[in-house]
Amino acid sequence: MSAPVFDPATYDAQLAEKKQRLIELLAPFAAPEPEVFDSPREHYRLRAEFRLWREDGQRHYAMFAPGDKHTPILLDDFPIASLRINELMPRLRAAWQASEALSFKLFQVEFLTTLAGDALITLAYHRPLDEAWQAAAEKLASELNVCLVGRSRGQRLVIGRDYVEEELTVAGRRFRYRQPEGAFTQPNGAVCEKMLGWAYEALGERDDDLLELYCGNGNFTLPLATRARRVLATEISKTSVNAALANLADNGVNNVELVRLSAEELTQALNEVRPFRRLAGIDLKSYDFGSVFVDPPRAGMDPDTCELTRRFERILYISCNPETLAANIAQLSDTHQVTRCALFDQFPYTHHMEAGVLLERR
């Protein structure tokens, strides 16, 4: 991750540019004007990753401009990161400066925090971690009131939990989430909460079933499950599946079946191309799907998965890459039209943006 150019004075102009870009991308599909959900101007990013750079005999937090691995940007703080990360940065640096066990061959630090105030720090090393490291790390975790993960080749030592706990409110209900170290989570918690609220409202109250592809740790699954009769959700990452199952149980959500399949594999299963052992016990024919929710990776949906979504009355689509979103809409535009769209500014001060569309059958 490279450091964005941070200048709150430019925020409104940048957001207006993103809105205009999204309008232009969706113009061929006669999309309505996007609803715009802005970000906090600073302290919005809940996770951050820093390389460490030695200078004057000390290790410093460092980032690099894209394409330049040799000119570090040394940091004492990081204004776009959460207040919790900024509070932890100097305290962690003081701890490694005071401890050979913590600092020896330490090359990378990752912070993962939540709006609820939880924090986990991952320390990555070019050496095996021993009992001296374990003792120092346990003391540090207690002093900082964080969980710690130590990583080196073939080693992963956990002090406390290997996940943080988040709470997000959607339509007046609080949902609790376990967010594992090393797995994907939305980096901008305030905007994530707005995305969940928009998706909840756009789906509406349904008396039929929902298919969800790329469900991750259940970020959208939990609130959307309260809008449908039943949900069949899929995710390929084992870490994310385990977190999603825990999150469903923690929140008492019991109308969701979760299967560890890729979107492409589920498409094959629904098309009866081949059976999957991981679908044993799940009667696909018993579902009455009216809507599909997708939140694919940057590459968007592959053509076969895109064709699968065409079967549904409603396609609710969250995208981190509006270019591939537009390409997918183009494939669907003969049968579905965009009836709602939104811009979510997950990544201020960068060109990246998150978008949402509701496509309904013509």
pLDDT tens digits along 9-18: 999 999 999 9
- Provide the annotated binding site for S-adenosyl-L-methionine: 186, 214, 219, 235, 295
Q: Over range 189-213, report the average pLDDT.
A: 98
For residue 4, the model assigns a pLDDT of 54
Q: Over range 161-185, report the average pLDDT.
A: 95
For residue 234, the model assigns a pLDDT of 96
For residue 69, the model assigns a pLDDT of 84
Confidence of residue 2 (pLDDT cuts 50, 70, 90): very low
Find the range with the poorest average confidence among 73-87, 189-203, 217-231, 274-288.
274-288
Long-range CB contact pairs, 89-95, < 8 A, 24+: 89/61, 91/143, 91/144, 92/121, 92/140, 92/144, 93/59, 93/60, 93/61, 95/140, 95/143, 95/144
Average of per-residue pLDDT values in the chain: 95
Q: Over range 286-299, report the average pLDDT.
A: 96
Q: Over range 262-269, report the average pLDDT.
A: 91
- Whether pLDDT at 49 is above 60: yes
For residue 57, the model assigns a pLDDT of 86
Confidence of residue 303 (pLDDT cuts 50, 70, 90): very high
Choose the catalytic residue: 166, 193, 265, 354: 354
Q: Over range 29-42, report the average pLDDT.
A: 98
Q: Over range 311-334, report the average pLDDT.
A: 97
Cα–Cα dist 147/142, whole Å = 8
341 noted as active-site residue: no
Choose the catalytic residue: 24, 320, 341, 360: 320
For residue 213, the model assigns a pLDDT of 95
Q: Over range 264-282, report the average pLDDT.
A: 91
Q: Over range 98-119, report the average pLDDT.
A: 97
272 noted as active-site residue: no
Q: Over range 127-151, report the average pLDDT.
A: 98
- Provide the annotated binding site: 186, 214, 219, 235, 295
- Give the pTM: 0.94
